[in-house]
């Protein structure tokens, strides 16, 4: 397998599961408004059709600007945002979701996540408000993020609107086996955030060897491994080089030996670990 060139991957080759494109663009810490709009525009023009933002990233307006600038119809784009942990009381969900739509310049989002099950999160009240947004047509799907298996199961019981995905940190140094099983049992997609472990996967010799063998970047190896696990990945990339490099992972097929070598990595590394994370309670 030779070096992968992003230009050889057509947009329509981006596979989907449940209608969600399996590779998206992350935007956390892409806070310079011009830069962020440019990243989103470049991604959409490269072929990406899934963009991930959040109220807490302080860039919803710039993401909306990038979407407006790109020559891609809104209906073709899978747009996700998240309600921050201080806004999860019923009235705040209803009000701030509308504010997010205004900042994004859209009349619906494809996926609205509960960013973390923390602070003002009250399962019944919060998910009741998400249900209302779903019924009003402002969101196409409910998402949860950073939910432990038991919290996901509780949410599934309480929420009448479809819960499409649980967005959690996942990469070769945090394979999330138990959580993936719970998601699979309940037809909930896993979306991997920090799919490059914020750069830490690049230093693993197993990943480096596989990258060299296929003539691709370490980033592509990590993203192809996630795809092989049936997981959607949303790597954050700012400039065109990284955006295109990650896109090219869609045409990298790892073989059984590669997958086994990555599965055998024993190092564990959680890159995003705030005190309010449910695993710290
Ligand atoms: N739900 C949550 O609680 C949560 C938490 C964390 C993240 N997220 C979401 O997940 C997204 C991704 O996670 P993340 O931003 O934490 O980390 P990440 O995607 O694992 O890593 C991003 C870092 O890797 C670099 N990079 C990207 N592509 C590269 C490539 N091909 N070669 C070399 N370096 C590359 C980026 O640099 P450049 O920026 O310079 O391109 C950036 O420094 C976030 O942006 C956000 O949308 C969600």
d(CA 160, CA 157) in angstroms, rounded, equals 8
Ligand 1 binding pocket includes 237 (Cβ within 6 Å) = yes
Beta strands 111-114 and 78-83, pairing class: parallel
- Domain coordinates of the chain in residue numbers? 2-7+22-265
User: What is the DSSP annotation of 69-95?
Assistant: HSSS-GGG-EEEEEE-TTS-SHHHHHH
d(CA 63, CA 81) in angstroms, rounded, equals 10
- Third-level CATH fold of 2-7+22-265: TIM Barrel (3.20.20)
Q: Which of 236, 250, 273 maximizes ligand 1 atoms within 8 Å of its Cβ, making it the mutation to test the pocket?
A: 236
Read off the tokens for 221: 């190896």
Beta strands 20-21 and 16-17, pairing class: antiparallel
Going from the Cα of 125 to the center of ligand 1, the distance in angstroms, rounded, reads 31
d(CA 112, CA 102) in angstroms, rounded, equals 14
Going from the Cα of 87 to the center of ligand 1, the distance in angstroms, rounded, reads 24
d(CA 65, CA 34) in angstroms, rounded, equals 9
Ligand 1 binding pocket includes 59 (Cβ within 6 Å) = no
134 dihedral zone (left: phi>0; alpha: psi -120 to 50; beta): alpha
User: Does residue 57 carry a catalytic annotation?
Assistant: yes
Three-class SS state of 21: strand
Closest atom of ligand 1 to 193 CA is 10
Three-class SS state of 128: helix
Ligand 1 binding pocket includes 38 (Cβ within 6 Å) = no
Q: What is the pLDDT along the chain (281 residues), one digit of tens a residue?
A: 334 455 555 555 465 558 899 999 999 999 999 999 999 999 999 999 999 999 999 999 999 999 999 999 999 999 999 999 999 999 999 999 999 999 999 999 999 999 999 999 999 999 999 999 999 999 999 999 999 999 999 999 999 999 999 999 999 999 999 999 999 999 999 999 999 999 999 999 999 999 999 999 999 999 999 999 999 999 999 999 999 999 999 999 999 999 999 999 999 999 999 999 999 99
Ligand 1 binding pocket includes 239 (Cβ within 6 Å) = yes
pTM recorded for the entire structure? 0.96
Q: Is the dihedral of CA 233, 237, 240, 245 positive or negative?
A: negative
Which is the catalytic residue, given 57, 113, 121, 134? 57
Helix axes 123-135, 90-104, angle to 10 degrees: 40
d(CA 30, CA 25) in angstroms, rounded, equals 11
Ligand 1 binding pocket includes 245 (Cβ within 6 Å) = yes
Ligand 1 binding pocket includes 274 (Cβ within 6 Å) = no
pLDDT at 18: 80
180's CB contacts (< 8 A; 6+ apart) are: 190, 229, 231
207 close to 262: Cβ distance less than 8 angstroms: yes
Ligand 1 binding pocket includes 215 (Cβ within 6 Å) = no
Q: What is the pLDDT of residues 55-96, one digit of tens each?
A: 999 999 999 999 999 999 999 999 999 999 999 999 999 999
Read off the tokens for 17: 């599961």
Going from the Cα of 131 to the center of ligand 1, the distance in angstroms, rounded, reads 30
**205 has which bridge partners?**
none
Going from the Cα of 195 to the center of ligand 1, the distance in angstroms, rounded, reads 7
d(CA 72, CA 58) in angstroms, rounded, equals 23
Going from the Cα of 270 to the center of ligand 1, the distance in angstroms, rounded, reads 14
Read off the tokens for 150: 């038991």
């Amino acid at each position: 397998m030779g070096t992968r060139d992003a230009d050889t991957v057509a947009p329509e080759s981006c596979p989907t599961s449940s209608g969600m494109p399996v590779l998206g663009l992350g935007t956390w810490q892409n806070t310079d408004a011009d830069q962020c709009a440019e990243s989103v525009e470049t991604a959409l023009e490269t072929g990406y059709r899934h963009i991930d933002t959040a109220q807490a990233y302080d860039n919803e307006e710039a993401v909306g600007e990038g979407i407006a600038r790109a020559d891609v119809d809104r209906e073709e784009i899978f747009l996700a945002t998240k309600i921050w942990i201080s806004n999860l009381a019923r009235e705040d969900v209803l009000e701030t979701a509308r504010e997010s739509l205004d900042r994004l310049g859209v009349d619906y989002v494809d996926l609205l996540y509960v960013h973390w099950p923390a602070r003002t999160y009250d399962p019944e009240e919060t998910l009741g408000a998400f249900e209302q947004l779903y019924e009003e047509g402002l969101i196409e799907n409910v998402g949860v993020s950073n939910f432990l298996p038991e919290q996901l199961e509780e949410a599934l019981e309480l929420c009448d609107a479809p819960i499409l995905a649980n967005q959690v940190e996942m990469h070769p140094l945090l394979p999330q086996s138990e959580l993936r099983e719970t998601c699979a049992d309940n037809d909930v997609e896993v979306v991997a955030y920090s799919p490059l472990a914020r750069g830490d996967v690049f230093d693993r010799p197993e990943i480096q060897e596989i990258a060299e063998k296929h003539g691709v970047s370490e980033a592509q190896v990590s993203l192809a491994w996630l795809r092989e696990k049936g997981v959607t990945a949303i790597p954050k990339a700012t400039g065109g080089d990284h955006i295109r490099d990650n896109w090219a992972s869609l045409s990298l097929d790892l073989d059984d030996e590669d997958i086994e070598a990555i599965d055998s990595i024993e190092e564990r590394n959680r890159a995003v670990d705030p005190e309010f994370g449910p695993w710290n309670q």
